[in-house]
Structure 1
């Protein structure tokens, strides 16, 4: 062994013992490969009709399992989605066994129980052999956990595992749901703001009896954990709040598991701190946690599951009947897939989207209103509908809605539905350039988001009628991420900020209000007949696949077109469909043609030479 190999071997042993983040990042690639292998094996076991009678029984039980998931999450859950969830459970099960010690999470959590039951049907196929190569990874987690005896330390480990595992092993799910870990400073700020405004408007606090608190997008459970740790819940109220008045939803299985670990551990610590005999306090599962698609679960006529995930189903039924007073959290920020090739579009929610159409979109003057159906804006609309006639909504979200033209209708609507609106603009828009980019400063979510970030607190007070008072605070120019988080921590709550009161203009502008004479300017272009700068108005040629139908030479263009047509036609005769942008660019019209089993052909006569010498296909 030469010096380099000796050094690497020693380093490997060191990081194995320490179990640091870098070491886990190195494992993430292996986890991704193993997860895919496990998914493929499960797919084969559950999807082959020629399997043995035992396997057919497993397939039948899997169908019941799938229907249960659809009832708890949404009807768009596919067999592939369900298989991926089983793979997630199988891969992460040893981690939770390490974290809990004597408490058997897999046998006690209501969702984990169902996963275990489904996997038990497949035990004869020795699925654990797929994860055998991860033993060293599991050992590193166990070694690190052994030295930690507090909730904060365990939560930090879970967050690192969550970020590293999901970011690489299940990237598609991350992209679709826009998961970002919320800095503790912002979490604490939101919780204190909600508590202060409850006391100011309703003479109650988060600890008060009857104040039901809901985190509809709990992620790893950070908001509920900090609620239990900050002292905002009085000791004598702790048991009541935990068992009856705190609620949290999560859509992603692994995030749900981690939330359960975090919240239940935080509660156990809090109980032991207040107990006369700490060792007598036993571990107590959190009854307010639900695996569900929050948007779907509140759709009118949503069909729930009453046979598979029974306990989980009972929890969402109970939650829907409760009078929610406070809604907190960091909603998903995803606006959907980047291209049709991703096959990763956001779900649709007819009832919720209709409400957006009748409010935010109806009052908007924008032409393209698609962004009003982004996940975080849906969260604002859902929370508005879910809140009772009095209460508080406190979110940290993309802050683009504050001054975008498309969100003018949203701002107008919020102004009529709430009595007070507090906005703390943390800036950080990385989609700017030059000096403006420097002025925006660092993003508080680090690499997790390129958008403006803002904390918004909405108060609905029936004692105050009329237009909402809008309290606006800008964090300031040229600040680093650390400086912004320090400012948030120092402020403590929105009521402590030096806010300016914003008076919206007739156009629904809050900040950067347009000049009154803007409407008198000659438009650049317009669909109606009136004087414009340009004589025609059009969106231009929309090929949906410029990479394939434009080129600098006729021969190159024909080769390109023939390649993508071959990829499309090959998909008609096989079970696999081209999904790589290197082979084909999908569009709605092309997918329809594929479903109709209609092949494509090259039309040489349609190849034209453009005015600037570029060949194109019309």
Structure 2
């Protein structure tokens, strides 16, 4: 119990008041009375020490630390008496919030008011002194209870990996924050940062460096705690705890043996104190690898990241691979080595590389597999004489690099094996996809970084690698340097698709496959075992990639694990990601290349028989199977696509005779790509006009607040404002109305859903890509455009619509691969002699000739015909597989058939352009008086759509509700696009017009189905 001592408290009040009234007090002036008060009030049996941490004004060290000889009790942060703790200045608010989140027991005071936070929650508060610094005696007991609660919270002895991960993550966040805030004033940190940029990651920013530094220190201390037999301190960590063979890490830790600034010293000392209080034996026992088919270190790192920075792994595409996946790959590779090469993983000439090693899970499982194969003390002989030299890994992030070394050493430790000071695995800190630049600095740290890079480059370019395994990261960015040269092979022959391929083929996982392919080509023989994004199995722009792989390898085994939410797959992914994944094993039996057709490709889908599987069912499948047990289906991939998934392409020759849309039309392109839909598109002209006026007149923050705008993607208020201001000044001489009349344009946003935007013909704050070269033809004069897709990833082909307006990129689907392409019927070309715009067909002259000879028809009639064909269920069904992989091909039936399709197609076009007058009466259709869209749901019983709890739109048949264009159920998408808005009368009438249009469309499609098409 804290004793009641009013006299001591009154003395404290007088001391604080005297300092305040002196007129020249700083925040520090009050700390001595507070420390004296606490030391006088807290009984000796608590055995606490109150340490005044800060030696000078710093941003990052709490003012007091309260400890016992064995543990940390908590922290106290002080502010000046005149500061209101409920309305802290911005800098103080940020600091206090950080301490609340990162420190389990934190007391905040301005010497009058005291607020106690425990586990980021305010648990107690009291005002001890009034505004005149008089003791409020009625609050003495309340203050005592607050103090007792503060003293009762101590850092417990950590006994589980989960507790340790949570604690280390919180302290790592503090360390990262203080490094970032103070590094410009610290020469050592600036030097380390420059070295990392120069020798490892040229694009590294200060935030990424602070993150790398914090994780390195935390994991280095963690490693030392499990290495040393004595308590940690800042000196033995360096000279005994960090292996000398890890020179880069060793050099970083030398920095902490010097005199550190307060903001670093207190947090590093705290980490050491808590790690010294860890029950090492208990945790070491829980870190036993492979005992129950698990990787406890992986779970530890996942727990750490979940608290430290859950976005980190996403930003760099870092995903830690589940053990069943890793074991399947490693075990299958070992079996293929036996069956195809009469070798094993531990054989002398079997070199193994993980080019994206992460925390070392794959190499850990390799060691475990070899340990099972090689019994007894013989394993240690193999390890020292062979495995240490045969196992390689690359990792670009220093914290996983360090964790990988720690994990492998702990795996060996559980088998009673320890590496010597100068022994290490060949896991290098390097970017697997680049070669070292010539060094420009000669410092010791830079020298060690260069040593790592030089050894890694030797492995990349010279060392013969027989087995490459791993889980490459997913991160789209341009190829540079050495890897860019290798990637040209995958771009070969793609023609006009190269631009789009730059995204799909610039994903890091594709580059890692290309790198691994090249390494095995250099070796002449070998195996790759990867788990990656599975989009390359059937992606259109990946066709040369697949062909190249078939030309290199003799056997390819594809285990499709699915889990692609973007394609509408309902099974669970083995990772926490949206993109589907596959395990692929590539086997090269002999040197040299061969024809793609000579490669045997085997395929198995984990869900093709069983339907949707849970993640754990997939793990079960992987645990109970290897490459030997699976009943593979042999595929016969054929050019030009070479699909690695089953496809029924038996009608390929028939379908291939038809002209493709991009062979018929001269110009086409995908839709406008906005930088931020919510900010750059409006429902009405008036809304968009007002937004532009506000953009030009309101302060940036006020504009953001009014329109709930967040600066995301590439859109920023400032950028847009600058672009509009320049346009107004340059092209309209300041005439705002003239500018609005020209620049405000309608856009087909979704089927039957038109929005307004401010449309500049160049990339600006509103658009990443305005695609003016195509969209101008829909603006400069009257026109019709066919809208369709090139690739269908989800479901069947329903991706066709018609427009008289520019289109938005996702007009047919929010799936990025199912983009909407616009084929204008006419182009508006400026005559260089007359200066006038001339309307000319956007159809290739040679095809116009065919149309005139075959049908004697106009471009409009041909568009009607095409539109009808693409809506015909017979056509969609017969050519379903082909319609998923490229622009549709159009069969040229005989003239009689042409006329039948044209007639129905014309009515469909006029319906979908809403040219026909469709009278609607909504008087009895609306049940309820709340027209705000909240939650959209179909009511089968009432044949209507509920937009909130009380209102339903009646008279909408279920087949109309289910009618889909592209990836959207039309009525549902229109309503969901207005969530949070009150439907206007115009919008209600529009909905019911669309209902009638869809009803008639369904009837016309049934008529199309009756047509028996004939060729000449």
Partner residue, 2:112: none
Partner residue, 1:483: 617
1:244 to 381, 389, 393: 389
Unaligned runs of 5+ in 1: 47-54, 273-279, 336-345, 531-535, 571-579
Alignment of 1:295-314 (within 5 A): 295-297=433-435, 307-314=447-454
Distance in 1, Cα, partners of 2:513 & 2:273: 44
Q: Measured at CA, do residues 542 and 70 of structure 1 come closer, stay the same or move farther in structure 2, by a change above 3 Å?
A: closer
Distance in 2, Cα, partners of 1:565 & 1:266: 63
Q: Measured at CA, do residues 38 and 206 of structure 1 come closer, stay the same or move farther in structure 2, by a change above 3 Å?
A: same
Give the superposition deviation at 1:259: 0.4
Tell which has more relative contact order, 1 or 2 (C-alpha 8 A, sep 6+): 1
Distance in 2, Cα, partners of 1:218 & 1:408: 28
Q: Is the 8 A contact 1:424 1:494 kept in 2?
A: no
Partner residue, 1:52: none
Q: Is the 8 A contact 1:403 1:509 kept in 2?
A: yes
More strand by share: 2
Q: Measured at CA, do residues 358 and 97 of structure 1 come closer, stay the same or move farther in structure 2, by a change above 3 Å?
A: same
Q: Is the 8 A contact 1:421 1:471 kept in 2?
A: yes
Partner residue, 2:466: 325
Q: Measured at CA, do residues 375 and 303 of structure 1 come closer, stay the same or move farther in structure 2, by a change above 3 Å?
A: farther
SS in 2 for 1:294: coil
Partner residue, 2:631: 498
Q: Measured at CA, do residues 463 and 249 of structure 1 come closer, stay the same or move farther in structure 2, by a change above 3 Å?
A: closer
Q: Measured at CA, do residues 165 and 143 of structure 1 come closer, stay the same or move farther in structure 2, by a change above 3 Å?
A: same
Distance in 1, Cα, partners of 2:300 & 2:329: 25
Give the superposition deviation at 1:304: 9.2
Q: Measured at CA, do residues 271 and 243 of structure 1 come closer, stay the same or move farther in structure 2, by a change above 3 Å?
A: farther
Partner residue, 1:288: 426
Partner residue, 1:166: 305
Q: Which has the larger radius of gyration?
A: 2
1:334 to 475, 481, 488: 475
Partner residue, 1:204: 343
1:458 to 576, 586, 589: 586
1:216 to 355, 359, 383: 355
Partner residue, 1:372: 505
1:113-168 Cα offsets, whole Å, 9 max, x none, are 12113445662455132456768975786568546275329985532342233345
SS in 2 for 1:262: helix
Does 1:181 pair with 2:311? no
Distance in 2, Cα, partners of 1:136 & 1:554: 64
1:345-369 Cα offsets, whole Å, 9 max, x none, are x463233223223334535885621
Does 1:607 pair with 2:729? no
Q: Measured at CA, do residues 499 and 147 of structure 1 come closer, stay the same or move farther in structure 2, by a change above 3 Å?
A: closer
Give the superposition deviation at 1:208: 1.0
Alignment of 1:354-369 (within 5 A): 354-362=485-493, 366=497, 368-369=500-501
Does 1:75 pair with 2:75? no
Distance in 2, Cα, partners of 1:170 & 1:214: 28
Does 1:395 pair with 2:560? no
Distance in 2, Cα, partners of 1:463 & 1:281: 37
Partner residue, 1:574: none
Q: How does the TM-score come out when normalised to structure 1?
A: 0.77
Q: Measured at CA, do residues 224 and 147 of structure 1 come closer, stay the same or move farther in structure 2, by a change above 3 Å?
A: closer
Does 1:419 pair with 2:554? yes
Does 1:98 pair with 2:233? no
Distance in 2, Cα, partners of 1:39 & 1:362: 49
Q: Measured at CA, do residues 89 and 217 of structure 1 come closer, stay the same or move farther in structure 2, by a change above 3 Å?
A: same
Q: Is the 8 A contact 2:171 2:267 kept in 1?
A: no
Give the superposition deviation at 1:242: 3.1
1:288-307 Cα offsets, whole Å, 9 max, x none, are 1111111113x7x6769862
Does 1:116 pair with 2:253? yes
- Report the number of matched residues: 556
Partner residue, 1:406: 541
Give the superposition deviation at 1:99: 3.0
Q: How does the TM-score come out when normalised to structure 2?
A: 0.49
2:368 to 224, 229, 250: 229
1:400-443 Cα offsets, whole Å, 9 max, x none, are 2112222112111111011111111112222233xxx33xx221
SS in 1 for 2:216: helix
Q: Measured at CA, do residues 174 and 428 of structure 1 come closer, stay the same or move farther in structure 2, by a change above 3 Å?
A: same
Q: Measured at CA, do residues 463 and 413 of structure 1 come closer, stay the same or move farther in structure 2, by a change above 3 Å?
A: closer
Partner residue, 2:138: none
More helix by share: 1
Distance in 2, Cα, partners of 1:254 & 1:457: 29
Partner residue, 1:342: none
Partner residue, 2:601: 470
Distance in 2, Cα, partners of 1:89 & 1:281: 21
1:190 to 326, 329, 348: 329
